[in-house]
Amino acid sequence: MQAIFWHDGRWYEDEQPKLLGPMDHAAWMASVAFDGARSIGRLVPDLDRHCARLVVSAERMLLRPTLAAAEIEALCREAVRRLDGIQATYIRPMFFATRGFVVPEPDSTDFCLTVYAAPLPDPKGTSCCFSSYRRPARDQAPTDAKASCLYPNMQRALVEAAGRGFENAITFDPSGNVAELATANLWIGKDGKALTPVCNGTFLNGITRQRVQALLQASGIEVLETTLTRQDVLEADEVFSTGNYGKVMPITRLEDRSLQPGPICQQARDAYFAFAETQPVG
């Protein structure tokens, strides 16, 4: 068994239940909030925080969550135990609306959980270019939620990057300052300090980002949340990303520049996986 699903009080093992039809609000008006966590072996780092964020995201998407964060967390843990033996999984709980015309009907909110095998990417390094696509301003999209409707523009950024021979893209905020990658938060190392774009409401303050920030500070590395420009990134000593899918990943090619995985990235990665060892599924 490589995946497991939960919906309406029932576990499914063979295939995901068919949840949405063409008349459902989420299918045509994108009233979907989700979160992404991971299991690494029998470890589930920050699972509680991912589940709590999902509830907040759903409320900000005008939905009415049908489960509390603790209930979602318990289901996620049970799913990981049911998939015992899989080295790494992606954990994706989701709220969505089934009724409404333009505005979703809060009482139509439904929930499902998907947990499936997803190996951690090789930390050898990834390639990135700067994108022509930007993150939206706070008054242009629900940027304070982890919402499916925010991803199509990042999909376009990824396709643009792939067309240029890169694996990911560095996007900008509406003011032209660096925001994040299309799929993860961005960090640079400069003169022994770790710098990351200050959260200005155009992108999420990622849970892995927050964890790495605390771990680096605890190890004695100065962390600065600040405004970063394209030139700041180009002139960095090292560049890396944090996010749920790859956790901490070095960026080893940036536009036409080759980089080596740096010491701050390695410190962040080592510290993160040491922290993960304290987070058993139970």
Q: Which of 282, 210, 199, 278 is nearest to 244 (CA)?
A: 210
> What percentage of the chain's residues is helix, strand, coil (to nearest 5)?
30, 30, 40
Q: How confident is the model at residue 15 (pLDDT cuts 50, 70, 90)?
A: confident
What burial class does residue 19 get, using C-beta atoms within 10 Å of its C-beta: 0-12 exposed, 13-18 middle, 19+ buried? middle
Strand (E) or helix (H) holding 168: strand 168-172
Residues 134-139: what's their mean pLDDT? 96
> Which residue, 130, 128, 124, 127, is CA-closest to 228?
130
Mean pLDDT of 106-115: 98
User: How confident is the model over 79-103, as a mean pLDDT?
Assistant: 96
Nearest residue to 120 via CA among 263, 238, 15, 276: 276
For the chain, the domains span 3-117, 126-276
Query: What pLDDT, on the 0 to 100 scale, is given for residue 173?
Result: 97
**Does the pLDDT at position 17 exceed 80?**
no
Q: Which of 10-19, 28-37, 128-137 has the lowest mean pLDDT?
A: 10-19
User: What predicted TM-score, i.e. pTM, was given to this entire model?
Assistant: 0.96
Cα 194 from chain centroid (whole Å): 20
DSSP state of 107: G
What kind of fold does domain 3-117 have according to CATH? D-amino Acid Aminotransferase; Chain A, domain 1 (3.30.470)
Domain 126-276, architecture per CATH: Alpha-Beta Barrel (3.20)
